[in-house]
Amino acid sequence: MKAFFKILTFAYNFKHLALLNVLLNILSVLFGLFSITLVIPILGILFGTQEKVLLAPQGELSIDWLKDFLSYKLTSLIESAGPSEALGWICLAIVIAFFLKNLFRYLAQFVLVPMRTGVTRNIRRALHTKLSSLSISYFSEKRKGDLMSRMTSDVAEVEISIMKTLGVIVHNPVNIIASIALLLSMNIKLTFIVLLLFPFAGFVIGIIGKSLKKKSLRGQAQIARILSFIEETISGLRIIKAFQAEKQIIQKFEEELHTHQKIMSSIMKRRDLASPMSEFLSTLVMVVIIWFGGNLIFDTQGNPNGSELSPQTFIGFIIIFSQILPPVKSLSQGYYSIQRGSASAERVLAVLNTEIEVKDNPNAIPLEQFKNKIQIKNGCFTYEEKPVLQNINLQIKKGETLALVGQSGGGKTSLANLIARFYDLKEGQILIDNIDIRDYVLGDLRKQMGIVTQDPILFHDSIFNNIALGIENPDPKKVQEAAKIANAHEFISQFEHGYEHNIGDGGHKLSGGQKQRISIARAVMKNPSILILDEATSALDSESEGLVQEALEKLMANRTSIVIAHRLSTIQKADEIVVLNKGQIVEHGCHQALLALKGNYFKLHQMQNRV
């Protein structure tokens, strides 16, 4: 239940609605019980056993005082208008009381609607904010489908199973407590039996509820697997078709669905047990009460000194007790719902409680301008306990271009990611203007950097918004200027809606070269001091590469650039070239100097020229 109470903290801003809900539920319960207690004098009138109270009750307000007051008023009504008319007035009072009961019950649920929807919104907002703040390494370990499942189906389950049940949790206990108080005023012995047997019923229901929560955790995890599988299928559909793997993929999906079906079948069997189980246990209590109460009436009839329990009071007791059964049944179902929702809540809270690895230091200082140089001193980095970079030492002066080359897996991209502080070094330092980058405000650090990757990351939006990403109130003229520098303005102008053209999911409406030039225009628009190019031309054809390379040269002018290169022809003009092999710097220098060494760089150069 810890997850349940933690989720309720999201409802703190709606506490005024919760208090209003409690008040309305109390009014609903009071009018409901009042309408039921009016049945007892009706039975007295019909049986001719209604006790006459000729004097108004004295003393303090209590349940007994209220009973005597109602009996006094009823006696006065019968004496003045006759039993038939008194019966009519009581029936009218019952109708009004039932109407008010249900009106207040509806209003109680009505005021909870903003709370339910607001809590769901707040949870999703908190999840999205958290996911946006987490380190890149977190997403390397998680499946996208699992995170999507937590954001969608798990939050929806919390709303359905927990927030929807809040009204039940408030209304039903109030109803049960008030009903038991009324039963105590009618007959203590019979009420004691009720109080004795209900905990046993609660124990049985609790056992079933715990098993339901475990199954629900498995069910939500399996939903996440299914969503991940769907996401991978859609992303890799071209490869699936090319390798004629449709049958294999369909079979795997069937297996995932079958597993989910088995889990959900087990959950539903346990959940559906809630209603008949609670009804059976309640009926068992009812039978015991009828047996015990009937014997009390026999004792009263056979022994003038026996317990005082009139038939109409006993029938009233049974009616009031029967009104406890629906809230008890509903409460047990609500308990099962909360157990099921708690499983989803735990999955949501697991994300929200994840520690952010890369974050601002408490005393972080602003970085207003990059002035001098970038240094890496004795830099070491490991990922999943495997060394990725070892003893890295290098320096990049402002305005220079540093190229990183080497075989795949050598640590080139990891080094660039460390400079952008997507990860933190395990040992050593990265300095900008002689200050460790971990001492700068993270937002200020990244404001100085622009990144162009091998696979352009574009969003399902207009070209304009993709270029102006992260900029508030962008100037359309500056967006066009950025596109011109990136050699993108010409093809953008050919679209019917120009810069407002929607590029589709991931930019699938554009060619590879067009996507890359939009990505470059975005970097130009940001106007960064430090530029990171991660194999920005390696996946392009010759014509597109020429246009993109020209755009990159314009972008790199007068900027500090870190270029990860696959094609050595693109970095020959770099001020310094660093050759990485198995996470270590094995060579560094300019193009001609490295060729003269006839080492790793020379071999890479020879291989590419041979190709």
What is the sign of the dihedral through the CA atoms of 459, 461, 467 and 470?
negative
What pLDDT band is residue 400 in, cutting at 50, 70 and 90? very high
Residue 30's pLDDT is 86
Task: Please check the confidence at residue 185 and state whether its pLDDT lies above 90.
Answer: no
Question: Over 60: is that where the pLDDT of 426 sits?
Answer: yes
What confidence score (pLDDT) does residue 211 get? 67
Range 106-115 average pLDDT: 88
pLDDT for 306 beyond 70: no
Domain 373-610: assigned CATH number: 3.40.50.300
Give the residues across from 563 on adjacent strands: 403, 533
- One-letter amino acid for residue 309 of the chain: L
List, in order, residues 6 or more apart from 150 with CB less than 8 Å away: 127, 224, 347, 348, 350, 351
Examine the pLDDT at 586 and tell me if it is beyond 90.
Answer: yes
Rounded Cα distance, 504 and 499, in Å: 13
Q: Of residues 33 and 79, which shows the higher confidence score? A: 33
Asked whether the beta carbons of 402 and 578 are under 8 A apart, the reply is yes
b (16+ CB within 10 A) / e for 585-600: bebbeebeebbeeeeb
CA–CA dist 478, 489 (Å, integer): 12
Average pLDDT for 436-451: 92
What pTM did the predictor assign? 0.74
In this prediction, residue 206 carries a pLDDT of: 63
The whole-number pLDDT of residue 595 equals 92
Q: pLDDT-based confidence at 434, cuts 50/70/90?
A: very high
Mapping DSSP to helix (H, G, I), strand (E, B) and coil, where does residue 45 land? helix
SS3 (DSSP) at 572: coil
Encode pLDDT of 252-304 as tens digits: 889 988 998 888 888 787 777 766 776 777 778 778 888 888 887 777 655 55
pLDDT of 543: 62
How far from the centroid of its chain's Cα atoms is residue 440's Cα?
31
Q: What is the pLDDT of residue 448?
A: 92
Q: How many CB atoms lie within 10 A of CB 366?
A: 11
- Higher-pLDDT residue of 566 and 520 is 520
Q: Tokens at residue 193, please?
A: 């039996």
Say if CB 418 and CB 374 are below 8 A apart: no
Q: Is the dihedral of CA 259, 264, 270, 273 positive or negative?
A: negative
Q: Where are the alpha helices (DSSP H) in 303-402?
A: 311-352
Sheet holding 576-581, edge to edge: 449-452, 530-534, 560-564, 401-406, 576-581, 584-589
CB count in 10 Å sphere of residue 581: 16
What are the helix (H) ranges across 353-397? none
Among 568, 367, 538, 567, residue whose Cα is nearest residue 449 = 367
Q: Are 195 and 370 in contact (CB under 8 A)?
A: no
Provide DSSP, 456-471. ----SSBHHHHHTTT-
Q: pLDDT confidence of 384, banded at 50, 70, 90? A: confident
Q: How confident is the model at residue 59 (pLDDT cuts 50, 70, 90)?
A: low
E strands present in 512-559: 530-534
Report which of residues 325 and 180 the model is more confident about: 180
**Dist CA 177 CA 374 (whole Å):** 70
Pick the most confident of 111-125, 152-166, 369-383: 369-383
Across 421-443, average pLDDT? 93
Residues 247-278 as b or e (16 or more Cβ within 10 Å = b): eeeeeeeeebeeebeebbebbeebbeebeebb
pLDDT at 50 over 60: no
Structure tokens, 62 = 């209590």
Q: pLDDT tier at 562 (50, 70, 90 boundaries)? A: very high
Mean pLDDT of the 135-158 span: 84
DSSP 354: P
Residue 305 has pLDDT above 60, yes or no: no
| SS3 label, residue 441 | coil
Amino acid occupying residue 333: Q
CATH of 2-14+120-352, one of 1.10.357.10, 3.40.50.720, 1.20.1560.10, 1.10.260.40: 1.20.1560.10
**CA geometry: angle at 551 spanning 550 and 552, to 5°?**
90
**Element housing 401 (H / E):** strand 401-406
Residues of the chain with pLDDT > 70, as a percent, come to: 88
Residue-level pLDDT at 396: 93
Residue that wins the pLDDT comparison between 570 and 425: 425
468's CB contacts (< 8 A; 6+ apart) are 474, 479, 522, 525
**Phi first, then psi: what are they for 500, rounded to 5°?**
-90, 5
Taking only Cα atoms into account, the Rg of the chain, rounded to an integer number of angstroms, comes to 37
Mean pLDDT lowest among 177-181, 363-367, 480-484, 546-550? 546-550
pLDDT for 49 beyond 70? no
As a whole number of angstroms, the distance between CA 52 and CA 79 comes to 10
Average pLDDT, stretch 189-210?
Answer: 74
pLDDT surpasses 70 at 104? yes
Domain with CATH 1.20.1560.10 in the chain: 2-14+120-352
- pLDDT attached to residue 331: 75
**pLDDT higher at 36 or 345:** 345
Residue range(s) in the chain whose domain bears CATH number 3.40.50.300: 373-610
Angle at 29 between CA 24 and CA 33, to 5 degrees: 150
Q: Is 393 helix (H, G, I), strand (E, B) or coil?
A: strand
State yes or no: pLDDT of 590 exceeds 80: yes
**The pLDDT of residue 46 is above 80:** no
Above 80 in pLDDT, residue 508? yes
Which of the four pLDDT bands, split at 50, 70 and 90, describes residue 230? confident
Tell me the percentage of the chain whose pLDDT exceeds 90.
24
